[in-house]
Amino acid sequence: MASVSEQLASRINLGSIAKAEDLKKRILFTLLALIVYRIGSYIPVPGIDPVALEKVFERNVGGILGMFDMFAGGALGRMTIFALNIMPYISASIIMQLLTVISPQLEQLKKEGEAGRKKINQYARYGTVFLATVQGYGVAVGIENMSNSQGIQAVMDPGTFFRLVTVITLVSGTLFLVWLGEQITQRGIGNGISLIIFTGIVAQLPLALSTTFELGRTGALSTLFIVFLLVMSVAVIAFMVFIERAQRRLLVQYPKRQPGGAGSGSAPSSHLPLKINTSGVIPPIFASSLLLLPITFVSFNAGGGPEWLNTLSLFLSRGHPVYLTLYISMIVFFAFFYTAIVFNPKDTADNLKKYGGFIPGIRPGENTANYLDYVLTRLTVLGAIYLSLICLLPELLISKYQVPFYFGGTSLLIVVSVTMDTVTQIQSYLLAHQYEGLIKKSNFRRGRWVKKLFCSARLDAVRELSLSYL
C-alpha cells in the first residue's frame, strides 16, 4: 500500500507548482542563475583566435580535451572565462576529504558540526584558488603552443602578459561559479554545483545528437547501429533509475512504553534504508577530475617533450587499457571511500542504541555496527560494479566506434542523478505546500465550526432572555 507522501506525490502537477509561491521563486532563481552561467560560457578570454582554436579542438574532440570540454559545457573549446568550470573546486574538495581522514586536526573540525564544516569548506576554497591557478597557467601555456593545420597559432600575441591575463580570468571565472553554485543551493532548487555540471552537459547534447546523425548520413555509422545506440541509451537510463532508487531496508524496532511506566509493550517497527549506490555520482566525477589534473599537462606537451612524456600520453589516451584500468580503479576506490565518509556504521549504531532502537536478532552497540558495516560493504560492492559498468561501456563504444563523448557514462550518471535529486526536492516542497494547505483548510473549517457554535449559543442566550421577560 502506498504511503501518504507517495499518494500526495502522485497528485502533483503543474497546477500545484503554480500555487506554491516559494517554490516558483526558487525555480525562477535557479533558471536565472543557470542562464547567467551559460552566457558566461560564451565570453572569450582576451587574445584568442577563435577560428584557429576551433580547428584545434576539432582534432581533439575525442581525446582528453573533449573530456575537459564536456565538464566545462563547451567553454574550453571556445576558451571562455568559464573554461575551467568548477573542476578545481571538486579536486580541492577531494583533497580536503582525504585530509580529514589523515589529519587529526581536520577530523576534529569535522566533528564540531556546522562551524567545523564551514572551516573545512573555507580551506577547500583556498585549495580551489591554488589548483585553478596551476591549471589556468597550464592551459595558457598549452594554448600558446597550439596551432591549426595551416600553422596559425590559437593565441594572437603569446607571452607573459597573455598568461597573466588568462590565469586571472580563469581563476575569477571558477570562483564565480563556486559562488553561483552555493547561491543556487541556498536560494534555489537542487545542488548548485551539480546543476552547473548538469547544465553544461545538457547544453551539449543537441550537438552530440546532430554529430551522431551526421555520422549516419555520411555512412561512418550504420543506421541500425544508431538505432541500437538510442535504444541502448534508453535501456541504460531505465536501469540507472532502477538502481538509484533501489534500497536495502533494515528492520528497526523501538520499545513502546506503557502509560504510567508499566514497562514496554508491543514494539513499533521502522526501516533503515541503505541505497545500493550510496556514493551517487561522486566517484566518476572524482575519478575524472583527478585524471584531468595530470593528463592536461601531458596532452599539451605530447609530441614535443621528452620520450617518457610521449609514452605517458600514449598510455593515458582514450580506450587504452592503462587509462581504463586507472579510471575503473579510481571509481571503485572513491565508491568505498565516499560511502565510508557519508555513512558511519558506528555512529548509526550509537544513535539507535541511544533512542532504544535495535535490529531484530542483533545486539545493540558494537554488534549492530559490525552488522551495518557487513551489509553496507556488500551493497557498496554492487554499487561499485554498477558504476564501473555504466562508465566502462560508453568508453569502449567511444574508442571503437567514435561515438560522441557526451554519451559517456559519467555524463549519463550526472544527468540522471541530478534530475532525480532535483525532482525529489521539488516534490518535497510541493508536499510541504500541500500539507500547509491542508492545515489551513482544517483551521478554516474549525473556525467556521467555532463561529457557528458561538452564534448558536448567542441565539440560545437571547431566546432565554426573551422568555425571562415574558
How large is the average pLDDT for residues 235-251?
Answer: 88
Q: Could you tell me the pLDDT band of residue 461, with boundaries at 50, 70 and 90?
A: very low
The gap from C-alpha 306 to its chain's centroid, in whole angstroms, comes to: 38
User: 3-17, 117-131, 389-403: which range is least confident on average?
Assistant: 3-17
Residue 55 CA to residue 149 CA, distance in Å, equals 8
Range with the largest mean pLDDT of 76-85, 151-160, 369-378, 441-450:
369-378
CB 83 within 8 A of CB 139: yes
Element (H, E) at 130: helix 114-144
User: 33-37, 169-173, 207-211: which range is least confident on average?
Assistant: 207-211
Residue 179 CA to residue 172 CA, distance in Å, equals 11
Residue 272 CA to residue 63 CA, distance in Å, equals 43
Residue 345 CA to residue 347 CA, distance in Å, equals 6
Q: Could you tell me the pLDDT band of residue 295, with boundaries at 50, 70 and 90?
A: low
CATH number at 383 reads 1.10.3370.10
Look up residue 199 and give its three cell numbers: 547544465
How large is the average pLDDT for residues 238-261?
Answer: 78
- Is 470 inside any structural domain? no
Residue 306 CA to residue 381 CA, distance in Å, equals 40
Report DSSP state, residue 272.
E
| 460 to 420, 425, 453, 454: CA distances (angstroms) | 59, 52, 11, 10
Q: What is the mean pLDDT of the chain?
A: 77
Question: What residues contact residue 54 under an 8 Å CB cut-off, 6+ apart?
Answer: 77
Q: How many domains does the chain contain in total?
A: 1
How high is the pLDDT of residue 304? 56
Could you read off the pLDDT of 23-44 as tens digits, one per residue?
A: 888 889 999 999 999 998 888 8
User: 146-160, 192-206, 251-265: which range is least confident on average?
Assistant: 251-265
3-state secondary structure of 444: helix
Residue 414 CA to residue 204 CA, distance in Å, equals 14
Residue 464 in this model has a pLDDT that exceeds 60: no
Picking from 104, 99, 69, the residue whose alpha carbon sits closest to that of residue 208 is: 69
Residue 468 in this model has a pLDDT that exceeds 50: no
| 318 to 313, 347, 442: CA distances (angstroms) | 10, 42, 62
- Is 7 inside any structural domain? no
Q: Which domain holds residue 62?
A: 16-463
- Is 11 inside any structural domain? no
Element (H, E) at 467: helix 409-469
Q: Could you tell me the pLDDT band of residue 8, with boundaries at 50, 70 and 90?
A: very low
Percent of the chain surpassing pLDDT 90: 12
Look up residue 209 and give its three cell numbers: 545528437
- Is 4 inside any structural domain? no
Residue appearing with cell numbers 566518476: 284
Look up residue 319 and give its three cell numbers: 580506450
How large is the average pLDDT for residues 140-154?
Answer: 70
Residue 105 CA to residue 157 CA, distance in Å, equals 47
Residue 324 CA to residue 203 CA, distance in Å, equals 27
Q: Is 192 exposed, middle or buried (0-12, 13-18, 19+ CB in 10 A)?
A: buried
- Is 332 inside any structural domain? yes
In the chain, what's the furthest Cα-to-Cα distance? Answer: 119
- Is 427 inside any structural domain? yes
Whole-model pTM: value is: 0.75
Question: What residues contact residue 445 under an 8 Å CB cut-off, 6+ apart?
Answer: none
User: 4-13, 146-155, 455-464: which range is least confident on average?
Assistant: 455-464
Question: What residues contact residue 221 under an 8 Å CB cut-off, 6+ apart?
Answer: 212, 215, 401
How large is the average pLDDT for residues 209-230?
Answer: 82
Residue 376 in this model has a pLDDT that exceeds 70: yes
Residue 103 CA to residue 297 CA, distance in Å, equals 29
What value does the CA radius of gyration of the chain take, rounded to a whole number of Å?
28
Residue 255 in this model has a pLDDT that exceeds 80: no
User: 7-16, 212-221, 338-347, 380-389: which range is least confident on average?
Assistant: 7-16
Picking from 384, 371, 381, 383, the residue whose alpha carbon sits closest to that of residue 345 is: 371
- Is 279 inside any structural domain? yes
Higher pLDDT pick, 91 / 11? 91
* Secondary structure (H, E, C), 279-330: CCCHHHHHHHHHHHHHHHHHHHHCCCCCHHHHHHHHHCCCCCHHHHHHHHHH
- Is 40 inside any structural domain? yes
How high is the pLDDT of residue 44? 86
